[in-house]
Amino acid sequence: MLNAKITGTGSYLPEKIVTNKDFESIIDTTDEWIYARTGIKQRHVIAKHETTSSMAEMAANQALEAAGVNASDIDLIIIGTSSPDRVFPSTACILQQKLGVGDCAAFDVQAACSGFIYALGIAHQFIKSGGATKALVIGAEANSRILDYTDRSTCVIFGDGAGAVVVEASDEQGIMSTHMHSDGQYQDLLYINNPIKDQQQDGDKAHMTMHGNDVYKVAVKTLSRIVDETLEANGMKKSDIDWLIPHQANIRIISSVAKKLGMPMEKVVLTIENQGNTSAASVPLALDLAVRDGRIKKGDTILMEAFGGGFVWGSALVRM
């Protein structure tokens, strides 16, 4: 069995920033409410000419450069996204064309906010089994295109962006384990309607619906369980983890997972204040931030985790 190692990271955030204050003139809300309940101060929003694949391209190019890998050497592209450019072809195929990558496998993974963790888990399996040697794994979301800006409980939460990693077959230990779960009984608590099929029920425009409080309760319990599962699978103790990179859904959910790990908040990579919840992009965006600012160093052990609509949840234990 081969090891799969993250050898480069990259990210992209659109230029336009929308602050909580900006929302005060659009909906019945306040900066204080949003910040106190979520930990969010601002989020990035894509411009008209941008798309999920164009953000993925920017992040991918940075990750390729960091890894010292040519796009032409990539033999697998997986994008976690719930806001694809088109229903099909996949955003991964569109990116493949943009990068000028040859005839490798390219597909999207639809696992809501856990999309990047799922994509990483799949790339891990491909590489371990010898099915790929150099993979591009991306989380990219244009959430602003699918938000209902009259629904104050969702539109203030989400932001846009993309994060990417290059995962390569390696002799060194890298991705130690990945864990993926789902439970479809919760499908109505957090979803985006499909305008192709759901027109009668939900109107003709895709938009997100979230029963935040119910989601919150399940997320806290579930993420605690996955932390235990991941440590147990690797025979590790809480104190063996150098960094926690959580999905950035809510600062209170993140704090409770950190507490469970006995981890001080300085060891948790946070982007939520400046980026909001970027769904599948949040984990790779946070990873790239902490790699580039020098906090995460070679040899560090990182626990990544995410939770989202489905419900789907997952984790990855990674040695950098």
84/115 with CB nearer ligand COA: 115
243 close to 305: Cβ distance less than 8 angstroms:
no
Say whether residue 213 binds ligand COA (CB under 6 A). yes
d(CA 221, CA 210) in angstroms, rounded, equals 18
Q: Cβ of residue 214: shortest distance to ligand COA, in angstroms?
A: 8
Say whether residue 113 binds ligand COA (CB under 6 A). yes
Q: Which of residues 6-35 bind ligand COA (CB under 6 A)?
A: 29, 33-34
6 close to 116: Cβ distance less than 8 angstroms:
no
Say whether residue 257 binds ligand COA (CB under 6 A). no
- Interface pick for ligand COA out of 153, 177, 209, 274 (rule CB under 6 A): 153
Catalytic residue among 44, 113, 143, 155: 113
277 noted as active-site residue? yes
Helix axes 115-128, 282-292, angle to 10 degrees: 70
Give buried/exposed letters for 203-239 (b at 16+ CB in 10 A, else e).
eeebbbbbebeebbebbbebbbebbeebbeeeebeee
249 close to 270: Cβ distance less than 8 angstroms:
no
Write the Ramachandran bin of 130: left for phi over 0, alpha for psi from -120 to 50, otherwise beta.
Answer: left
Residue 220 CA, chain-centre distance (Å), reads 17
CA-based end-to-end distance of the chain: 19
Say whether residue 156 binds ligand COA (CB under 6 A). yes
Say whether residue 212 binds ligand COA (CB under 6 A). yes
Residue 302 CA, chain-centre distance (Å), reads 15
Say whether residue 307 binds ligand COA (CB under 6 A). yes
- Interface pick for ligand COA out of 4, 219, 226, 245 (rule CB under 6 A): 219
- CB count within 10 Å of CB 308 equals 27
- Interface pick for ligand COA out of 45, 94, 109, 249 (rule CB under 6 A): 249
Say whether residue 271 binds ligand COA (CB under 6 A). no
Q: Cβ of residue 108: shortest distance to ligand COA, in angstroms?
A: 18
Three-state secondary structure call for residue 86: coil
Catalytic residue among 44, 124, 207, 247: 247
Instruction: Name the residues annotated as catalytic.
Output: 113, 247, 277
* Contact residues for ligand COA, defined by CB under 6 A: 29, 33-34, 37-38, 113, 152-153, 156-157, 190, 212-213, 215-216, 219, 249-250, 253, 277, 307-308
